[in-house]
A and B are shown apart, each in its own frame.
Chain A
Amino acid sequence: MEAKSIEDVRELATEDIMSPWKLAWRRLKKNKLAMLGLYILAIMVLLSVVGPLVSPYTMEQMDLSNIQSPPSLAHPMGTDEVGRDVMTRLFYAGRISLSVGLFAVVISVVIGSVLGGIAGYYGGFIDSLIMRIVDIFMSFPFLPLLITIAAVMSDWKVPPQYRMFVVMILIGILSWPGLARIVRGQILSLREQEFMQAAEALGIRDRRKIFRHLLPNTYASIIVSATLDLGSAILTESSLSFLGLGVTPPTPSWGQMVQVARDLYTLQMQPWLWIPPGICIFLTVMAINLFGDGLRDALDPRLKR
């Protein structure tokens, strides 16, 4: 066909041709709630990254003359029971909480979608094998397991800065099975669709078929599941910190900072200690969900705006 008609096609300007990502971004920009979520997230990330650099205090610096002081000019969010600046700690805690959440979700999404995709695509024995592994992971009692690991880690004297990574990996490894199931189910039904036969007839390779045709069609569920997981990962991290497995003092995390509210006196009399981290958790999780929803809609061409 080359020879016949390539000459008589008029010269075509190519600037108005857009990639699918560009189209999705354009749709996302129109979604005000999603953009609000994106801005809040950006601010959170920015504060966590830049905050500690511009703050006059350090995370561990104690001001013993100013213990448990309410918000003032010198300490805009007050100080805690040993006189550390709450705002500075909040910034540091953001780094920890956000990165724990993010890495845990990345681990879970990568493992979950790859294994789910492989199980759904190949079916048969491989499918059974992977789904049995999923069953095993799902039947793990989460908290007892973590308490055991916490005990083991204390025994082995794992330094506190490495504990954060252990937490990320653990949360990630324990939360992928749900996603794997969702992805597998969708791939199973997508695999039989005629457009996959068309791709097959074109001589597409398996890898490309899974990653360029099948998985993109499951983005919606992956994104929804990932945003929900990100919120719950941040919350899980806080409960782990409470149990002593997570980040240990003096390193702060948002969840750990909220834990001070379990003391009735602090709860009633020193709201500056727990309200700011609480608001941070709330805003971040909400922003992620808003953004995730918007992203899902933007990536789904079937929804019109």
Chain B
Amino acid sequence: MELLEVKGLKKYFPVKGGFLSKTVNYVKAVDGVSFNVKQGKTLGLVGESGCGKSTTGRTILRLYEPTEGAIYFEGIDIVTLDKEKLRAKRKDMQIIFQDPYASLNPRLTAGEIIGRAIDIHNIARGKERQRRILQLLDVVGLKREHYNRYPNEFSGGQRQRIGIARALAVNPKLIVCDEPISALDVSIQAQIINLLKDIQEQFHLTYVFIAHNLAVVKHISDDVAVMYLGKIVEMAEKDELFLRPQHPYTAALLSAIPIPDPSKKHSRIRLEGDVPSPINLPPGCRFATRCPERTSICDEVEPDLIDIGGHMVACHHRR
């Protein structure tokens, strides 16, 4: 069953300028993205910084108002929901942030951070609330004596655990993980990834996992979508994508994964050229400026994301 269906999602940020700060242009952060995520599965969303993957994640939750498109969550288009209905729906969709330092209110204790999340949807009160907080601390691998501590007394990994507990507090069905481990030490990253996997199983969660570390995405995802400049250029089942990357961009990304074996020869595809500005996009393929396989059609026609047999790819040369 599809838990989440995103159709033609666009998010443009206005660029203000000139007299009376008129909108002079738009940053097309997300420019027509469509994908589905099945109940209990994980979609990995990868791409370089600035490609719009975080914006996509936040727009799905309507933390940013989408410019265009539809987001079906359990069959209901949440773009059309009014404020009150959306508020109720938010219980089902949560987010874990990249920066564990900025994402916790420094004035609240760990227990209160989780408790406030419980309060917002009136999930539990009094003793029951307390029990639930302690239980959540336990689930994410923190101890009960951490209840009274403030965020500044925790390490990055522990803070991220609090962030996860806060997201879990409202019994969500979907969690958008917005680069949850990229701000952590390498030694902690594995712990958090494994924690995320464990709770996914325990609570039947569905993830949209945003990352730029391909090894991590490979570990946790079922399907992977590769984004470039606000569009998905390739999307496939994880093993298929990693074994047979179709899009030249994906191939370049995969070749950048270090191989932990010094005797193996590393043939890395180096991309030349610059990323075009998301304000002023080229008319043809967005990747054309850097593509090693560029031909004349690439500069003129924008390729659509087409299914070529269990593998979606947006490239004129993979048809």
Residues of A within 8 A of B (CB): 1-2, 4-6, 9, 12, 14, 16-18, 20, 23, 193-195, 197-205, 208, 212-213, 216-217, 219, 299-302
A-B pairs with the 3 shortest C-beta distances?
A203-B90, A301-B150, A194-B103
Assess the A201–B202 pair: CB atoms within 8 A: no
B16 within 8 A of A: no
Assess the B130–A195 pair: CB atoms within 8 A: no
Which residue of B is nearest A22, CB measured? B148
Task: Give B99-130 as 1s and 0s: 1 = Cβ < 8 Å from A's Cβ atoms.
Answer: 10011111111011000110011000001001
CB distance from A189 to the nearest CB of B (A): 11
CB distance from B112 to the nearest CB of A (A): 6
Assess the B95–A201 pair: CB atoms within 8 A: yes
B226 within 8 A of A: no
Residues of B contacting A: mostly: helix
CB distance from A80 to the nearest CB of B (A): 50
Assess the B95–A17 pair: CB atoms within 8 A: no
Q: Once the chains are docked, how many angstroms separate the CA of A107 from the CA of B112? A: 30
Assess the A5–B135 pair: CB atoms within 8 A: yes
5 other A-B residue contacts (CB within 8 Å) besides A217-B107, A302-B150: A2-B171, A6-B131, A12-B134, A212-B116, A300-B107
| Contact of A4 (CB < 8 Å), options: B90, B111, B203 | B203
Report chain B residues within 8 Å CB of A202.
90-91, 94, 116-117, 120-121, 166, 170
The total of interchain contacts (Cβ-Cβ below 8 angstroms) comes to: 103
Assess the B112–A6 pair: CB atoms within 8 A: no
Report chain B residues within 8 Å CB of A17.
111, 130, 147-148
| Contact of A301 (CB < 8 Å), options: B87, B106, B121, B203 | B106
Task: Give B167-186 as 1s and 0s: 1 = Cβ < 8 Å from A's Cβ atoms.
Answer: 01011000000000000000
Q: Once the chains are docked, how many angstroms separate the CA of A219 from the CA of B94? A: 29
**B-side interface size class:** 35 or more
Report chain B residues within 8 Å CB of A299.
107
B271 within 8 A of A: no
Q: Once the chains are docked, how many angstroms separate the CA of A302 from the CA of B99? A: 18
Q: Once the chains are docked, how many angstroms separate the CA of A205 from the CA of B88? A: 11
Q: Once the chains are docked, how many angstroms separate the CA of A205 from the CA of B93? A: 16
Can you report 28 residue pairs joining A to B where beta carbons are below 8 Å apart? A1-B168, A5-B135, A6-B135, A9-B131, A9-B138, A12-B134, A17-B111, A17-B148, A20-B108, A194-B97, A194-B102, A195-B102, A195-B103, A195-B104, A198-B95, A201-B61, A201-B95, A202-B90, A202-B121, A203-B86, A203-B87, A203-B89, A203-B121, A212-B116, A217-B106, A299-B107, A301-B106, A302-B106
CB distance from A296 to the nearest CB of B (A): 12
B58 within 8 A of A: yes
Which residue of A is nearest B135, CB measured? A9
Q: Once the chains are docked, how many angstroms separate the CA of A4 from the CA of B58? A: 29
Assess the A201–B90 pair: CB atoms within 8 A: yes
| Contact of A213 (CB < 8 Å), options: B105, B109, B121, B203 | B105
Q: Contacts A9-B131, A203-B91 given: A197-B111 contact, CB under 8 Å?
A: no
CB distance from A303 to the nearest CB of B (A): 9
Task: Give B189-206 as 1s and 0s: 1 = Cβ < 8 Å from A's Cβ atoms.
Answer: 000000000000011000
Q: Once the chains are docked, how many angstroms separate the CA of A37 from the CA of B63? A: 46
* Chain B, 68-108, CB within 8 A of any chain A CB: 86-91, 93-95, 97, 99, 102-108
| Contact of A18 (CB < 8 Å), options: B63, B148, B153, B166 | B148
CB distance from B263 to the nearest CB of A (A): 43
Assess the A4–B202 pair: CB atoms within 8 A: yes
Q: Which of A1, A12, A197, A212 has the most CB of B within 10 A?
A: A1
Report chain A residues within 8 Å CB of B166.
198, 202
| Contact of B152 (CB < 8 Å), options: A18, A219, A302 | A302
Assess the A20–B103 pair: CB atoms within 8 A: no
Which residue of A is nearest B64, CB measured? A197
Q: Contacts A202-B120, A203-B88 given: A23-B148 contact, CB under 8 Å?
A: yes
B278 within 8 A of A: no
Q: Which of A9, A194, A299, A301 has the most CB of B within 10 A?
A: A194
Task: Give B201-235 as 1s and 0s: 1 = Cβ < 8 Å from A's Cβ atoms.
Answer: 01100000000000000000000000000000000
B163 within 8 A of A: yes
CB distance from A187 to the nearest CB of B (A): 14
CB distance from B183 to the nearest CB of A (A): 11
B6 within 8 A of A: no
Report chain B residues within 8 Å CB of A212.
116
